Structure formats: structure tokens, C-alpha cells
Amino acid sequence: MNVWCRIALVLCAAALAGCVTAGREIKPAQVEQIQQGRTTRAEVEELLGPPQREDDSEGKHSLIYSCTKTSPQPQDILPILAILFGAVDVKTDTLTISLDQNDVVQDFERNQESSVGRFGLLLPLVAPKPTSTETDEPTPESPTPTP
């Protein structure tokens, strides 16, 4: 095996090693099978498995399914860049299914969010500074009001 193949193999292994998934993936085909007013809790659990959480609020009982995936950004393949400027892409997919008193699906909502988590040592030095701050104290650049 030549040197370039070995380097490519090591880089691919390093990139894949950083991927993490928590929870069960929610597939679009599964969500399409859920019907308001028809699908029962038992059918939902057969389709998606037991929920990660259940919630009883606002007079509704809800089943909550969630999946979070994190993966390193491309610059994190090189260890020194990961230490200095490390960041991960975070994708969260949440499905909340509300049931009526007969355990039939009343409604459901799917929410997908993406964000970036930053952890590098030099990020505070390169991160954008806030453009304005809310404070009641005068800043050194602004004159103190005179009575």
C-alpha cells in the first residue's frame, strides 16, 4: 500500500471516529404512517419503539422521540486544528406525538434543528465580539454626563 493510500485511510478513520448519535433515528417513512385520529399508541410504539420521554402537560399526554447527531467539522480531521479551532455540527430531530384520552394520536409535530458546538482553545480569540452591550455604566470612550 503506498503512502498516499495510508494517509487517506487514516484521515477517513479519524473523520468517522468523531461521529456520535444519541437516540433512535426518526425516518420520514415512519412519520408518514402516523395518522391523526386513527393511529393508536400501540401502533406508534410498534413503529418507533418506546418513547424516550413522556409528558403530561396542558391536559395532553405526549410521547417524545428524539435523535441527536454530532459530527466534526472538516478542519477537525487534523488534531492540532481540532484543539485550536474545534467545532461540531449538531443536528437534533424531535417528534412529539399528543394522544387523546383513548390513546389515539390527536396531533404530532416534528422539529429539526441544526447548530454548531464550538470547543477549540483559540475560539475566544477569533470569535466575533458583541457589537453592543447593555449597561448602565459609562464606558471609557463615552463622556460622563454632567449635571
Within 10 angstroms of residue 2's Cβ, the number of other Cβ atoms is 7
Segments of the chain with pLDDT less than 70: 1-18, 73-86, 118-147
Within 10 angstroms of residue 88's Cβ, the number of other Cβ atoms is 19
- Model pTM score: 0.62
Hey, where are the domains in the chain? Answer: 19-123
Q: State whether residue 78 is helix, strand or coil.
A: coil
What digits encode the pLDDT tens for the residues 78-98?
Answer: 565 555 666 778 899 999 999
8 A C-beta contact, residue 78 and residue 72: no
* Residue recorded with cell 449597561: 135
